[in-house]
A and B are shown apart, each in its own frame.
Chain A
Amino acid sequence: MKLNPTQVFLLVAAAIVILAAGPFFLPPFYVRVGQLMLYAAGLGLAWGILGGFAGYASFGHAAFIGVGAFTAGLVEDKFSSLPALLLLPLGLLAGAACCAVLAALIAYPILRLRGTFFAIAMLGVSHVCAELTNNIDFFQGSMGLNFPPIAPAGMDPADFFYEIYLVAALFILLVSWQIRRSRFGAGLLSIREDEDTARMLGVPTERYKRLAFVVSAVLTGVMGVIFAHSLGYITTESVYRDDTNLSLIVYSLLGGMGTLFGPVIGAFLLVFITQVILGRLLDFHLFATGLLLVILVLSAPGGIAGLLKKRKRTAT
């Protein structure tokens, strides 16, 4: 089935309208689940720009969630006299800028590492950021930071943040789609397939990798700022989370590594499984995630997108 551009456009527009209308007909619990799904999808997409397209799987992207959240919190604290509506854009700008600077600084040394070493070094970055935030009084990581309520009066904050998450996730999807179909994206894919050959053929691998790292970090930071606002109060533990570090990989793995929609499918599915199906079995949470991971690696290393592709290939 091949769709022409008008049909695709209509389909996408319809999907967006249905998603945006979610809070008006869903019960509150599912609005909350929807928020988490969109948050997870946005993070998964941002991670995928580096981990999926370029094949540099990071084990420490929570570092950028934390850096974004804390920068935004500290900056908004300074400008707390501004109207509430200006605070979120200000925080987003500050958080994104700080993530960009941090990523650009560590990109040079850390991107010289490959594969597992890169993954673990990123985990190290995340832990170091978390410990510094926790132990240096200026960042108030152990005491916690408060965020001002920014939802407009008369609107349920849960619904408001649902829409914000939706906008952010769509924006990240757009960015990653544009990257995927650009020359830059093709360069990233070639780095994933064979970095040395790509370099030999004239792909500016170092520049592309660094750019992908910074873009991925900034988008992750943006999601972190929104997440912090929706929580209203953050500490080191609530943003620098090792289970986030892991989940980001699992989203892509579940949906399909390196595909555009893979992280979205994976994020929706995993959040649905853990929040709705396993919601009452908290003791079982870790075990189920682990089991899912084992089954995935053994039976479907290409994720759901990989399974679909395989079926299509065997059908033709």
Chain B
Amino acid sequence: MNLIAQTLADGLVLGGIYALAAVGFSLIFGVLHVINLSHGVLVLMGAYLALIFSEALHIDPLLCIPPVMAVLFCVGYAYQRFLIQHAVDRASLNSMLLTFGVALMLQNAMIWVFSPDMRSITPSYAFTSFKLGPVNLDAVRLSALAASLILLSCLAALLRFSPLGRVIRATAQQTMAARLCGVNVRHVYALTFAVSAAFAGAAGIVIGIILPFSPNDEGGWTLNAFVVVVLGGVGSPAGALIGGLLLGLVSTLTAQYIGPAFPNVTMFLLLVLLLLVRPNGLLGNAFAPSR
């Protein structure tokens, strides 16, 4: 009983982080129809930036979230405006390959700059933990989960209530109609990409405080994001949350009860199965209704 409760709790914490790490990927997929294979690199850039900031300024890593998000917002805007925009209008495979090329270059660059070693961010409260009934929760994981949920809610509110969110949703639903109403579609695409990159960076920080990371992990985080989006549905923070929690639960349960080597196998079987029975994910495409 204890073991099940502990496994479920760990799965939910991991799932919350998966959701945050995937939400940017989901947004870009939903609005630009681009599979951003450099998403994992953006996540890791967030983690490394937080490492630098928190070591240089001696502040809590979670306080690095705003500056890191600001930096990645600018990076994301420029990346979309100067590179990806040129491939967006062509076949979908082209933009995917473009982002893959960028991912390879940045991964190699990160290996030069930060070395291929595993790194981790250790906050001051790294070794505190609470007991909640039979379940052990350490402070790091709890704060990581809280940060994920808060950031996801912020993004959901941004998309739902702000003028920027309205424009992004309009562009995703009907690009042509949005353009006719005076929306500068390229600018919106770039802003969407920037917001996504910012959230990827924030996810990187949260990942950095609970798991070790190295430049070679980027592929894994991109794949996770893809699986989460396919499971949950494209474009919405709620879809990412559902997909993330599902993925977190499945991978911890598999690791616990089937074997530590098999989470990826079950994950992909689940993915293919879901693609076949419900190709649009559990919540469907957030921007689809008016298409």
Q: Which residues of A contact B (CB under 8 A)?
A: 57, 109-110, 112-113, 115-117, 119-121, 123-125, 127-128, 131-132, 134-135, 242, 246, 249, 253, 283-287, 289-294, 296-298, 301
Contact = CB atoms under 8 A, between A and B. Distances in A.
A135 B101 contact: no
A115 B97 contact: no
Given A121-B271, A121-B272, A287 B104 contact: yes
Contacts of B271: 121, 124
B272 A124 contact: yes
A298 B86 CA distance: 7
Contacts of A115: 92-93
B264 A128 contact: yes
Contacts of B105: 286-287, 290-291, 294
Given A120-B226, A131-B265, A297-B87, A112 B276 contact: yes
A135 B261 contact: yes
Contacts of B109: 287
Interface in B239-269: 259, 261-262, 264-265, 268-269
20 contacts: A57-B93, A115-B92, A116-B35, A116-B92, A121-B271, A124-B272, A128-B265, A132-B265, A246-B100, A286-B104, A286-B108, A287-B105, A290-B104, A291-B101, A292-B101, A293-B101, A294-B105, A297-B95, A297-B98, A297-B101
A289 B86 CA distance: 20
B219 interface: yes
Given A289-B104, A293-B104, A294-B105, A301 B90 contact: yes
B94 A283 contact: no
Q: Which label, helix, strand, loop or mixed, suits the secondary structure of the A interface? A: helix
A71 B80 CA distance: 45
B79 to A, nearest CB: 12
A103 B279 CA distance: 22
Contacts of A121: 271-272, 275
A284 B105 CA distance: 9
A287 B268 CA distance: 29
Given A57-B93, A290-B103, A110 B98 contact: no
B139 interface: no
Interface string B212-229: 000000010001001000
Contacts of B87: 297-298
Contacts of A284: 108
Contacts of B104: 286-287, 289-290, 293
Interface of B: 35, 83, 86-87, 90-98, 100-109, 111-112, 219, 223, 226, 230, 259, 261-262, 264-265, 268-269, 271-272, 275-276, 279
A131 B276 contact: no
A285 B112 CA distance: 12
Nearest to B100: A293
Contact of A128 (B98, B101, B106, B269): B269
Contacts of B93: 57, 115-116, 119
A290 B264 contact: no
Contacts of A283: 108, 111-112
A67 to B, nearest CB: 15
A135 B128 CA distance: 35
B219 A242 contact: yes
A296 B98 CA distance: 9
Top-5 shortest CB links A-B: A290-B104, A293-B101, A124-B268, A290-B105, A287-B108
Contacts of B269: 128
Contacts of A298: 83, 86-87, 98
Contacts of B97: 249, 253, 293, 296-297
Given A109-B276, A115-B93, A135-B261, 17 more contacts: A113-B279, A116-B96, A125-B268, A127-B264, A134-B261, A135-B262, A242-B219, A283-B111, A286-B107, A287-B104, A287-B105, A290-B101, A290-B106, A290-B108, A291-B101, A293-B98, A294-B101
Contacts of B98: 293-294, 297-298
A295 B262 CA distance: 38
Given A116-B35, A116-B92, A294 B83 contact: yes
A110 B275 CA distance: 9
Given A120-B226, A297-B94, A113 B86 contact: no
Contacts of B102: 290, 294
A249 to B, nearest CB: 7
Contacts of A109: 272, 276
Contacts of B264: 127-128, 131
A123 to B, nearest CB: 8
Nearest to A257: B93
Contacts of A120: 35, 226
B101 A117 contact: no
Given A116-B92, A290-B101, A128 B268 contact: yes
A124 B267 CA distance: 9
Contacts of A289: 101, 104
Nearest to A108: B276
